[in-house]
Chain A
Amino acid sequence: MSRAAAGPAPPLIERRLWFVLGKGGSGKSTVSATLGLTAALAGRRTLLMEVAGQNRVSAIFAGASVGHERPVELRPGLFGLSVMAEQAMEEYLTGQLRMRPLVEVLSRSRAFHHFVAAAPGLAEIVTLGKIWSLATELEPDGSKPVWDALVVDAPATGHALALLDAAGRIAQIATGGPIHEQAERIEAVIQHPAATGIVVVARPEELAVSEALDAAAELAERELPAALAVLNAMHSPRFSAGDDAALEAALGAGPLPPAERAALEAAHARRVRELDEQGLLERLRDGVGLPVLELPCLIARQIDLPALEGVAEDLARERPPALFGAT
């Protein structure tokens, strides 16, 4: 609507608040870490956040204990923070009431705890409120925001949409009081394509790409500012059409020692997979209506932090337009 007419939306790197969402298993957390590392290398003071008690960021930056009290520096310019709903709730009330004893009465009230735990959407809104307050926090002298980029490793798609929608919902439910007005202010930031950028992550698999297309359509319908699609874990091209004939001929040429057969079959399977993945990349590009960033498949026994850092260094150096915009 009016927002869309305001001109082309800026690339992700120029926005402040990034939400990374995708189906479970799509690699949201590693993508969040990679994007966070890239932003930091590009000179942005960056906060990488995990929400809803998922300790994936801590797991990736093994050894770093990402707490919920204050941001922990993970790499130069990259900080980590875990946002917990219960604590965010207490912080919110402290800020609202400005009377510690009152907050303590609330915190001690069992009725209040039951209410917080069960009230649908309450955990989402306090989490979102906390993220928003970090995103709009200024340096003490008011000169500039504390964070240039905030990367949220969001929950799986359905729950992530509930998180992004939380402010709008609350603004609708609570028609009066400061909550209404606060929710509207949060909603304004979350929906503004100059402030917020949503990243849709998928693996190069048939079903995952379909779901990413659905998610992008859903975001558009809700007027939430999607900024980027990431096709994660792409196999880099190792075989080409020129190899096909020789591979097939060698495989068909009669009995082979097991190791050689296994190598030829592995090569053939990889080639088929590369072709499949290229097809899926095209499908995503055609349908998603967003810039698409490919991230490589890191073949390793487990999440390989140095390899992720290598990917981030490449991105910061090569500045792909999908992430950095046209130069």
Chain B
Amino acid sequence: MIAGELVDRRVLVSCGAGGVGKTTISAALGLGLAAAGRRTVVVTIDPARRLAAALGMAGLSDEPRQVDPERARAAGVELTGEMWALQLDAKATFDRLVARHAPTPEARDRILANRIYGHLSSAVAGSQEYMAVERLHELVEEDAFDSIVLDTPPARNALDFLAAPERMARFIEGRALRLLLRPGGGSTGIGWRALHAGSALVLSVLERLTGAELLREISEFLGSFEGMYTGFHDRADAVRELLKSDRSAFLVVTGPEPQPAAEAVDLWHALERGGYPVGGLVVNRTESLPEGGPAPIAELGRRLQAAGAADPEDLARRAARTLEEERMLAVRDLDVVEGLRAALGRPPVAEVPLLEHDPVEVAGLARVTAELFGT
């Protein structure tokens, strides 16, 4: 049980390696918070169509949509709060960001129509992470929800998305390039000049490789953001402050296998080093230890013979072998969980057992919620 203590946080971030079930855990958290009376929104990054279907939605969009409380009630969950969900649209979020900060409608249109902007805002790497954090900021600012659950994007490094706003703001601000280029007036193109030794060289190299045309376009693009940098920076700062405060909590999600567990330990330590509040560990899909010892093959064979098996001893042997494999995996899971507890200094841990089927309907999610909230 971990999430019970986190009910009052404004923002819960679920993070971890790819494929560990972050989206499911995020949805289950959202359900639990809504059941605890919070008006909650779950922000997913991945297209999780079946999850949307499970929540009774044809699909998720960039605008929050409410989960029908009847669906939850049918699955035995009474929502005293509300549960909403949305799926990040990085390009739409970026466009809104530009619209918000552009000094004039003309400046806005100029940026939105810029070729470089088009590539920048739809690039998967970079822009998605940046916009996940920006969307979070919008939701906090609009103040329509008590709790926001952020399902982090599949980054190469799960921490990438935290650094993304600053990295991207810096790129747009063009501190780097503006050292090299001076957006020139007039139509003659680049009006740059060297600011320090080497800049001219760097620039001439870039120009040689890319052609003057691209540099002129980039220069124009950066020029069109003139006057907006402060706004971008303030937002990046505000989000970082919120995420590092006790109004937020990070949950590290992992599977019970050694590889994701090792990545979870790295992530946990990286979060702590970065000054982010880590609220607990979720070990998803653990195999539970079967009851009893090894199956006695002779007895099992006799029982299967009585049940009409064609080759009872062979069937008994296959069944016993299957049980042995289950036990081996369950023991491995126990070892991994214990190893994680030790490595992380006995943090709050929730184990979510492996369900027969992936939880793709509210009832399945509710089982995960129960493990997270200890209800």
- Tell me the A residues contacting B by CB distance below 8 Å: 23-26, 52-54, 56, 59, 93, 96-97, 102, 105-106, 108-115, 117-121, 123-124, 155-156, 158-159, 161-162, 169, 172-180, 205-207, 210, 238-239, 242-243, 245-247, 249-250, 253, 256-267, 269-270, 272, 299, 301-303
Contact = CB atoms under 8 A, between A and B. Distances in A.
Contact of B323 (A59, A172, A263): A263
B179 interface: yes
A180 B211 contact: yes
A246 B50 contact: no
B58 to A, nearest CB: 16
A150 B257 CA distance: 28
B116 interface: yes
B358 A179 contact: no
Contacts of A247: 304, 307, 315, 319
Nearest to B262: A59
B53 to A, nearest CB: 11
Contact of B176 (A96, A114, A123): A114
Interface in B26-61: 49-50
A52 B356 contact: no
Interface size class of B (residues with CB under 8 A): 35 or more
Contacts, number: 222
A158 B211 contact: no
Contact of A299 (B49, B125, B316, B328): B328
Given A159-B154, A169-B119, A246 B300 contact: no
Nearest to A155: B156
A114 B178 CA distance: 12
5 nearest CB pairs, A to B: A24-B18, A25-B19, A176-B211, A259-B292, A258-B292
A179 B210 contact: yes
A25 B18 contact: yes
A176 B170 contact: no
Contacts of A177: 207-211, 214
A111 B180 contact: yes
A207 B359 CA distance: 11
A53 B292 contact: no
Interface centre among A52, A120, A263, A272 (most CB of B within 10 A): A263
B358 to A, nearest CB: 6
Contact of B210 (A110, A176, A246, A253): A176
Given A175-B211, A259-B294, A262-B295, A245 B308 contact: yes
B124 interface: yes
Contacts of B113: none
Interface in B85-138: 115-116, 119-120, 123-128
Contacts of B176: 110-115, 118
Given A109-B198, A114-B176, A115-B177, A173 B115 contact: yes
A241 to B, nearest CB: 12
Interface in B286-308: 290-296, 299-300, 303-304, 306-308
A246 B325 contact: no
Nearest to A182: B209
Q: Name the prevailing secondary structure of the B interface residues.
A: helix
B168 A118 contact: yes
A243 B124 contact: no
B213 A260 contact: no
Contacts of B171: 114-115, 118-120
A260 B295 contact: yes
Contact of B292 (A172, A257, A302): A257
A111 B177 contact: yes
11 contacts: A23-B19, A25-B19, A25-B260, A53-B156, A118-B176, A120-B123, A176-B213, A177-B214, A250-B306, A263-B322, A267-B319
A115 B198 CA distance: 15
Given A111-B176, A262-B290, A176 B214 contact: yes
A102 B205 contact: yes
A39 to B, nearest CB: 23
Nearest to B212: A176
Contacts of B210: 174, 176-177, 179-180
A259 B156 contact: no
B202 A109 contact: yes
B209 A178 contact: yes
Contacts of A169: 119, 123
A106 B358 CA distance: 51
B295 A120 contact: no
Contacts of B279: none
A162 B179 contact: no
